[in-house]
Structure 1
């Protein structure tokens, strides 16, 4: 019997993709783990049935090359495609570098479309699954990270539309509404360097990531849940991680002033720059 196969983007050590690769490998799948720099996931090479592929998800030609490698190994089918690669960009909107914001969307949004187009035929042949790593951030207008949150809102909506489009072709789509999970994304966030004339310059030190937030759930716990959901026939939006209950069921009913006041120092920032949130 042919092993099921899964390709995961963004598998650098310490992140969700890396842990998910291990979780699927333990379940007997053939795993194609990808990252821009294979050296950042080199430890996965020692695991049976794990193939490492260098892949920049913003490079259409690299995606074509990766698809050919997978096709050669699987006979033209891919059971699971996980669009996990992501980036962070934090900056007040008034001071946002538009080119950096576009680069963020290239990773967090457009890359998922490139991957679905590049591997879509293989997933359709397998009657497989597309897993898109969304986020509860896409439901929140959090100061200083609106660009990132908007990119996640975009992938959340894209994924749900894709689910309806692929259902007639026998393909399931999971939209992962991830809450706070231990990973590298906060550690990889940019240092905020503001222009001298920025309204927020007086509080620049207080704006530096990682930002205070609710407790994470362990990566291993999250990926075990996600692997099980993916293999169990689940479809649509699935929620897990720190703060998911609040964002899903409570936040929609609260005024913005209450939501942001739960973020440490948010009110003090507003006071010090002469602004009021709400």
Structure 2
């Protein structure tokens, strides 16, 4: 609980704070800056490493559940008097799979967490952030601006987050609220630990690239990274200094900003294709699904 003597302490709520992730590192970094932190996760047991820190409140929050979000809002309002200085939308899921081989219900699930969950949490907590004239931080990423093979739906969700967040920035400005879009590069986390099975269907056109796809699903994109703690410290510094708009942090973030700004798309795509397994792909007839065959 926020004690009486802590009433002037700034507050932050962070989604997706399971151990080993960016949210957890952000919770610890904000805590070190003397904020009261509301760390949230769909599974509170995954935040047990934070439970003994003072000025740290652990909340169960499933960003895809309206009732879970509403319950979290009630708790935060009661403890803060109706104000929230920082809302950090960090929850996210990855999906590595060729676009043609992706189950669309699974793809919609990625959007439910990465985009719609973020939007739902933002709408619910907006009155508290507006009351504090605070800041909303939305975690997008480099895939929002990179055409990375085998990441079509994950990247599309992050591109949607970028557009949503940058538009929200314009709409919240008259209300005295800043909006930050985190263009996150490679950070050492467990993002891909819960990545859906990348095993390809037997009739996939991309079987010859299965090793590269499996490697990517296992986290090869994060092989060269900055630590979550270093990333979090830099992001918290940015946010508390009043940043607004796109902030590029994490390994390769500055490089990709430079390439995307000053080089043609084909140059970046040439680099992304290397090692993806695309060069192994050759066209061959794809088996027509049984349901489309007339008997």
Q: TM-score range by the shorter chain?
A: over 0.9
In structure 1, distance between residues paired with 2:220 and 2:19: 23
Is 1:27 paired with 2:33? yes
Is 1:230 paired with 2:239? yes
Measured after TM superposition, the shift of residue 257 of structure 1 is: 6.1
Which among 260, 265, 270 is matched to residue 278 of structure 2? 270
Q: Give SS of 1:32's match.
A: strand
In structure 2, distance between residues paired with 1:211 and 1:47: 30
Which among 44, 49, 57 is matched to residue 38 of structure 1? 44
Q: Give SS of 1:46's match.
A: coil
CA contact 1:212–1:263 (8 Å) conserved in 2: no
C-alpha spacing 1:25/1:59, structure 2 compared with 1 (3 Å): same
Partner of 1:137: 143
CA contact 2:63–2:117 (8 Å) conserved in 1: yes
Partner of 1:150: 156
Partner of 1:218: 227
Is 1:206 paired with 2:212? yes
In structure 2, distance between residues paired with 1:206 and 1:177: 25
Which among 249, 252, 259 is matched to residue 243 of structure 1? 252
CA contact 1:216–1:242 (8 Å) conserved in 2: yes
CA contact 1:87–1:107 (8 Å) conserved in 2: yes
Bigger-Rg structure (1/2): 2
TM-score (structure 2 length as normaliser): 0.88
CA contact 1:88–1:104 (8 Å) conserved in 2: yes
Partner of 1:259: 269
Listed one character per residue, the Cα deviations across residues 82-130 of structure 1 (whole Å, up to 9, x for unaligned) are 0000000111111111000000001100111101111010110011110
Measured after TM superposition, the shift of residue 249 of structure 1 is: 1.4
Give the number of aligned pairs: 273
What value does the CA root-mean-square deviation take over the aligned residues?
1.6
**Runs of 5+ unmatched residues, structure 2:** 1-6, 284-295
**Runs of 5+ unmatched residues, structure 1:** none
Between stretches 252-261 and 51-60, larger displacement belongs to 252-261
Q: Give SS of 1:7's match.
A: strand
Measured after TM superposition, the shift of residue 242 of structure 1 is: 1.1
Which among 104, 111, 114 is matched to residue 120 of structure 2? 114
Between stretches 237-246 and 139-148, larger displacement belongs to 237-246
Listed one character per residue, the Cα deviations across residues 226-248 of structure 1 (whole Å, up to 9, x for unaligned) are 11111111111111111112211
In structure 1, distance between residues paired with 2:234 and 2:267: 33
TM-score (structure 1 length as normaliser): 0.94
